[in-house]
Amino acid sequence: MAVPSLQQPSFLLANLKADCVTKPFVQRCQDLVKIIDEFPAKELHPVFPWLVEMIFGSLDGSIIGWNLRCLQGRVNPTEYNTAVDFLLPSGPMMKMVYKLQAEEYRYDFPVSYLPGPVKASIHERVLPECPLYHNKIQFPSSGGQSLNLALNAFEYFMFNFAISLITQRNYPVGQYFSTSDSAYFILVDKYLSWFLPTEGTVPPPPSPNPGCSAPSPTPSSSFQRSPTVPFTSYGIHASNSLLKRQVSHQPMVNADPAAQEIWRSETMLQVFVEMWLHHYSLEMYQKMQLPQTKESFNPTEEHVLVVRLLVKHLHAFSNSLKPDPVSPSTHSQTTSPLEEFKRVVIPRFVQQKLYIFLQHCFGHWPLDASFRAVLEMWLSYLQPWRYSLEKQPQGIDPLSRIVPEKWAPFVQENLLMYTKLFQGYLNRALRMDLVSPKNALMIFRVSKVFAQPNLPEMIQKGEQLFLEMEHVIPHRQHRIYLSPTFGGSYLSSRQPTITDTCYKVKSHVYSLEGQDCQYKQMFGTDVRNLVLRLAQLIGQAQQTAKSISEQTNETYTSRSFLSWLGFGSSDMNGSYTGNDLDEMGHDNIRKTDEYLEKALEYLCQIFRQLNASQLTHLMANFETARDENGKKQLPDCIMSENKLFLTPLGRYQIINGLRHFDIQYQGDPELQPIRSFENATLVRLLFRLSSALNERFTHRMNAVCSREGFVSRFCCYHLTIPTLAEHSPSNGMTDPQSPRIRLRFLASYRTLLSLLLLYFVASLLSIGPMTCSILLLIGYLLYATVMTLLTASPKPHQH
């Protein structure tokens, strides 16, 4: 190790720090390119940790760095292109990494910033299973509490790059950005394409000295040989007690030349998986199911989108595996480490950690539309055939093609990813507002993916294989099943080969859920009942969407020109439906109905036990009934002696806008609270004026309205209103109130604006204010006369 105990002050580092204050970003990067090319590794060594911090920010989040997560090409193309070119796998920064790598420099990374399970394991003096941490843990020489990892330049760069995604930064307020267009997202894609190529091999690192071959560093990866056990990378341990190896006894091994081909690929992938996914161990995951357990890590939508990019690329990388040769001997002699790496990259590196990560997201993510990111990541993992290099027929929906039978082993060996997570999503869907178009789209997406031809049969076959094992081997506690983590190296000759597909399915389930797990079948009775409940809610959501659409149409069509001017009846008792569909337009309402209708159709295809007649009968029993006025029933309640009590179903119906109480104001309209569309001063003044007029002329108005004839009906049309008894017939009071003058409608902003527009138009037509007022009065009298004649009985008129 070339790290001196006391380093001399670096004048190069001091100059670079000064340039950060005086020079612009692009010029600083140009200077860095020259410095990396001209200076030796000894001079670059003290600069490297500072430069990494300046690029990715500090580990505690106090320094933002280059802000790669917010750097957008469309917003700032110059800085964006400069940063991306500098950090490319073949760029200047990686050249600096390889220079320092050749000299075997080491850099300290605090253990306190590692994921929770790894940090806890190291503090307990237990060596983590991932070989990424082997031979790197350094204890403080003076007996301090701080622990560090001694990383080479490549590992240190990748650790800081990966952790910058999950480090909370104090970004400027009001700064919005698209994750898929950010410099960080693009660089992740570039690194994956470079170090995990789908075609060809991993490009070798450039030589630090021209004319000389690049020395091979000693990677601390899992590809290492010993004289007796070749490539024991992941380690087979007979029992869990052997897993607790003391950190002080870290094995020292020599580098294997055959493994040098892909050590950077394996290191990068291990760093990404550890820093992005390994935040919950199996034990922690089981504890987090308890309601009193506090969450230790909360992933963000940006984090999930980057993990989805990793999952998609790993599928493409794994699917680029060349077909196996016919002869086993030929296979052992000609298969390269990269091809073997492709064979097991998902089950050995990703499967367990991704499953626990998804389980946490399904159980703790908010019930809003942002869950779409988690959903798409999950669906991407479930469909490796979508990322196959085989040419697909043009013009055919990828989700409508039959899933080839060759993917049956993948489905069976990832059975919990399909079955248990599907049940977890069902539980989420039953608590979501399915009237929302975004939530309806998620239901549609899940049902469409699982309804792909031949996929339900594959899942059901996997469950049958698992259940067959229950009958063949009743005492499962006496059998040890190998998990992807404890299954040994994929290049190890001592790895037990499991030929029975049943054992593989059993091993997968028990390795993720434990030996004592109680497996719930996806095609069993319990899940079928959940699907029936979901179908009921989908039907109710469809009825709600249609009802809102009809109410919106009626509202728009019922507004006549005169009512818009303020002379028609204004609804002072409007009710809120509890949903925002009326603000999103008819197109989104139509999409919601289409998504839900197709989701029901796909659910019938997935679960063959459900048929159209059964769903029709279900909807007939649970569909929201309507009364003779076209309004919904009340929410589900329990009648007591004096009042109604909402049931849990009733609360759910109100929250999701499925049903609501018909609440109306039943008092004197003149005494209603002042509305937002009314002028408060005018309301009070007009109330005083109308009260004075009513007090003075009440006897005359009563006399006029009590007569027979057209004049009496005309006055009643304007001066009487429905009584409280008419809203509550059970009271037995049906006599109308005494006629009253009501002028509150003149305080409405709509009425005032309408009158102002009329006078403005009249002035353009050379009609004076007095003439306009007379014409307006004559027009209204004609309108009121017609309405009075058309009224069979005296009807009230409300303003």
Segment 39-90, tens digit of pLDDT: 999 999 999 999 999 999 999 888 888 989 999 988 899 999 999 999 999 9
- The helix (H) or strand (E) run that includes residue 646 is strand 644-646
* Tally of CA atoms within 13 A in the half-sphere of 171 that contains its CB: 12
Query: Is 603 in contact with 448 (CB distance < 8 Å)?
Result: no
392: three-class secondary structure by DSSP = coil
Question: What is the rounded CA–CA span in Å between residue 442 and residue 431?
Answer: 13
Instruction: Please name the residue ranges forming H helices in 514-611.
Output: 525-557, 561-564, 581-584, 586-606
User: If you write DSSP's letter for every residue of 142-174 in order, what string do you get?
Assistant: TS-S--EEEE-HHHHHHHHHHHTTTS---PPTT
DSSP state of 182: B
d(CA 258, CA 224): 9
Q: Which residues pair with 148 in a beta bridge?
A: 110, 138
Reduced to 3 states, what is the DSSP secondary structure of residue 278? coil
Cβ 278 vs Cβ 117: under 8 Å: yes
Low-confidence ranges of the chain (pLDDT < 70): 1-9, 141-145, 169-177, 207-261, 282-296, 324-334, 390-400, 469-499, 550-586, 609-634, 639-642, 648-649, 652, 656-658, 664-666, 720-737, 791-799
How far is residue 97's CA from residue 153's CA, in Å, rounded to a whole number? 5
The one-letter amino acid code at 322 reads K
Name the 3-class secondary structure at 444. helix
**Whole-angstrom Cα distance, residue 487 to residue 498?**
11
For 107, phi then psi, to 5°, come to -135, 140
CA dihedral 192, 196, 197, 202 (to 10 degrees): 110
Can you give the pLDDT at residue 48? 95
Q: Which amino acid is at 104?
A: E
d(CA 232, CA 771): 101
Round to the nearest angstrom and report the end-to-end CA distance of the chain: 89
CA dist 591 and 542 (Å) reads 11
Q: Which amino acid is at 54?
A: M
With beta carbons less than 8 A apart as the criterion, state whether 151 and 267 touch: no
- ∠30-59-139 over CA atoms, to 5°? 115
How buried is 530 (Cβ within 10 angstroms: 0-12 exposed, 13-18 middle, 19+ buried)?
Answer: middle
Q: Alpha-carbon dihedral of residues 130, 188, 413, 601, nearest 10 degrees? A: 150
Give the C-alpha separation, 146 to 166, whole Å: 22
Sign, CA torsion 697/699/701/704: negative
- What does the alpha-carbon distance between residue 756 and residue 363 come to, in Å, rounded to a whole number? 57
Distance CA 689, CA 691 (A): 5
pLDDT at res. 107: 94
Distance CA 581, CA 592 (A): 10
Measured CA to CA, the distance from residue 408 to residue 403 in angstroms comes to: 9
* Exposure of 9 in the CB half-sphere (CA atoms within 13 A): 4
C-alpha span between 501 and 482 (Å, rounded): 13
pLDDT tens sequence across 530-550: 898 898 888 888 887 777 776
β 148-151/137-138 pair status: antiparallel
| Distance in angstroms (rounded) separating the CA atoms of residues 313 and 190 | 11
- Residue 13 near residue 50 (C-beta atoms within 8 A): yes
| Matching residue, tokens 């159209």 | 612
- Over the Cα atoms of the chain, what is R_g? 36
pTM over 0.75, yes/no = no
